[in-house]
Structure 1
Amino acid sequence: MTRLLIAAGGGGDAIATALVHAALHGPDTPALVLTYAWERLVVDPLPGPRRTTDFTGLTPGSGALRLVTPATAPRPPAGSLLPRLATQLRPALGLLDPYEGTVGLARQLRDAAAHCGADRIDLVDVGGDVVADGTEPTLRSPLGDALALAACARSGLPTTVHVAGPGLDNEVPLPVLLPRLGPPALRLTAAHTTAVGRVLDWHPSEAGALLVAAARGVRGVCGTRDAPEPLALTAASADVHRLALDRALDLNTLARALHGCTSLDEAEKASVEVCGFSEIARERARAARGEGAVPPALPFDPAAFATWEDGTAALGLEYVTTRRITEELDLTPAATRDLRTWLTTDDPGRAAPPLWRLRPR
């Protein structure tokens, strides 16, 4: 049997799902991770998730299942990091296409289970927005998680929900989140992170980076690009909480509203009704403003970094993600590689993979 897992959120959640799979079943146990191709605009300039027709080279599986392989490629102008992930993650990857809503996703899940010979699903979310009720003022991206949760319920397959790294996505405040989760079921360790190798040397997922860092024992105050407030990495940041599917559905108002939806447009309207906003509409607005455009091809400037580092450390931060550095300094991929080289040679003690220690001067 091949284990069947679902990465509940965007493309970066596949990394955390591989980590949780290693902890639950062992890294060498055959597994298939189903994930959305839903990337930030600098990776994919098209708002919203991608569908199967946005790719070439997907491998057909049973029924509606489509597998992502190293030979898969997005059709321009779409972009996706999933083909590159498929070269480095141990579990196989399958594409979740949400354009036929919960009904279509449930069909994909049943077909994936038949392909794997699996009789159950492990649904994995990083941070905890899979148990958001839609009223949290810091909630930013509930739709993918809610669709996946609703699809699991509609599929009829027994499902266990796993929340890894509570609060690491900064969407549901910890005082609100932790009572919903109950006690942790397990704690990730550095040994589990071998399942993701050096993926986070290039992948921009901040929640994934924080989860890996916590599992490796990094502790302290960390700043990310998307979060309005810094995050404190503690031992509990590496915890994984386990919930029954019914419990998660009781908490997630949006998932219940999506039970019979048959299109992504319908799901988006439900998000507006339940949560008061559509994250896809927000992406459309950012794209219209030109956000996510590739920055000018300027070289990495150590002096500019030093000025940035002093100001960032003054905020009380001890660690930062690569994404925060690159986006706040408008670094191109080539300049980012120069940054990594310089940080490592300037002071090897800066590296706290996949984070960086700040060394104000």
Structure 2
Amino acid sequence: MTRLIVAAGGGGDAVTAAMLAATLYSDDDQTVILTYAWDRLLVDPVPGPRGAHDFTGLDRITPTVSAVPAEARPIAPAGSTLPRLAAELPHTFALLDPHQGALGVTRQLEELVSHLEPESIDLLDVGGDILARGNEPTLKSPLADALTLAATCQVSAPVRLLIAGPGLDGELSPDALRPLLGPAVHALTAKEVEPISAVLEWHPSEATAMLAATARGVRGTCEVRDAGLPVPLTDEGPRVHEVDLDEALGRNTLARAIMATASLDEVEAYSREICGFSEIDYERDKATRLMNQPAVKLDDEAVLPQLDRFEMQAHGRGVTHTTFRRITEALNLAGSQRDPLRRLLIDSRPGQYEAPLWRMATKPE
């Protein structure tokens, strides 16, 4: 049997899709994960999502859908985690290209469903911001999820919407999401995280890292992103809920507005009008700032005192854990320095590594 999982926001949703495939489906099932190549500036210095024209070595599946094999490469200066995911996980990663708007994504979905004739189709969102109305003050990245929802609702095949780790993306709170969620279909366990444990050592997704951590029993408050958003790590974290697809569309104002769009520019215009911003604009502005920011050397002797100060301040905010992305940005280091920083910290203070998160020292030194 073939199973199709549509990763609503790309990035970490694709990693979680791989974990759920191993958990929810038979070992004999073949899983195709349809996902955006949108890794944010930590990996890809070019703002916005990548399309097929940004890669070499893709494998054509249908006229508008290509798989990203391990041998594929993003064309510089773009970056992408998809080829490495394809190399390390036993699934097919197909490229969701948003540049033709919701109509283009719908066409991709229809072609893939017709070609694969999948036994099931799941639309997966980690965190739950796909259920946002669009005017929530905490909303940070509504565009990708709304676009996927708008397209999926137009596909002539049954689709199940799954929300994993309610609230773990730091956009809608668990309290706001709780009345919107349907029944819990599963609660992930530490054993079920193992198939992606190696990926979590290098993949930058914060929401998926927290999902895995809560499945492993980590509890507390995790600070994420450059803004330092606090995210509660609770017993709700590992749960996967089903939500009615039509009800989600009924809530998501942006998704309803963009259903007939034929370009990403149109989708962005609606996002600015309805949500007050486009997350790609935010990436453009941030990319410009980073370009003009002088490079900071990763000084081993300076890092640990800087970390101590950061941890001391975080303790005052009630924070117990954080991500390596957050530490990298808090120390004003470049995204390319995340992995060396991570290795340095784990080697220096291994007792604080609660994979894949960093636990604040009880008493910062």
Q: Give the TM-score normalised by the residue count of structure 1.
A: 0.93
Distance 1:317 1:291 in 2: 30
Q: Does structure 2 retain, via aligned residues, the 8 Å contact 1:224–1:324?
A: yes
Distance 2:72 2:155 in 1: 27
Distance 2:293 2:73 in 1: 20
Distance 2:89 2:9 in 1: 17
Trace 1:1-361 onto structure 2 (pairs within 5 A): 1-26=1-26, 29-226=29-226, 228-290=228-290, 295-301=295-301, 302-331=304-333, 336-359=338-361, 360-361=364-365
Q: Does structure 2 retain, via aligned residues, the 8 Å contact 1:65–1:95?
A: yes
Secondary structure of the structure 2 residue equivalent to 1:78 = coil
Secondary structure of the structure 1 residue equivalent to 2:42 = coil
Deviations 1:266-313 (A, max 9, x none): 111121222122112222222232369794333333333233333323
**Per-residue deviation at 1:217?**
1.1
Q: Which amino acid aligns with 1:322?
A: F
Q: Does structure 2 retain, via aligned residues, the 8 Å contact 1:38–1:48?
A: yes
Secondary structure of the structure 2 residue equivalent to 1:235 = coil
Distance 2:37 2:99 in 1: 12
**Per-residue deviation at 1:153?**
1.4
Pick closer, same or farther for the CA change 1:126–1:142 going to 2, 3 Å: same
Out of 195-204 and 25-34, give the one that drifted further: 25-34
**Per-residue deviation at 1:180?**
1.1
Q: Give the TM-score normalised by the residue count of structure 2.
A: 0.92
Structure 2: any 5+ residue segments left out of the alignment?
none
Distance 1:10 1:341 in 2: 26
Secondary structure of the structure 1 residue equivalent to 2:290 = coil
Aligned-residue identity in percent:
47
Secondary structure of the structure 2 residue equivalent to 1:71 = coil
Secondary structure of the structure 1 residue equivalent to 2:41 = coil
Q: Which amino acid aligns with 1:147?
A: L
Distance 1:242 1:118 in 2: 19
Out of 5-14 and 309-318, give the one that drifted further: 309-318
**Per-residue deviation at 1:260?**
1.5
Out of 178-187 and 298-307, give the one that drifted further: 298-307
Aligned residues: 361
Q: Does structure 2 retain, via aligned residues, the 8 Å contact 1:47–1:284?
A: yes
**Per-residue deviation at 1:150?**
1.1
Out of 348-357 and 48-57, give the one that drifted further: 348-357
Q: Does structure 2 retain, via aligned residues, the 8 Å contact 1:223–1:320?
A: yes
Secondary structure of the structure 1 residue equivalent to 2:93 = strand
Deviations 1:289-343 (A, max 9, x none): 2369794333333333233333323322111111111221234578645544444
Q: Which amino acid aligns with 2:330?
A: E
Distance 1:291 1:120 in 2: 44
**Per-residue deviation at 1:27?**
6.0
Secondary structure of the structure 2 residue equivalent to 1:230 = strand
Structure 1: any 5+ residue segments left out of the alignment?
none
Out of 347-356 and 226-235, give the one that drifted further: 226-235
Distance 2:238 2:360 in 1: 22
Q: Does structure 1 retain, via aligned residues, the 8 Å contact 2:298–2:341?
A: no
Distance 2:257 2:120 in 1: 23
Pick closer, same or farther for the CA change 1:284–1:344 going to 2, 3 Å: closer
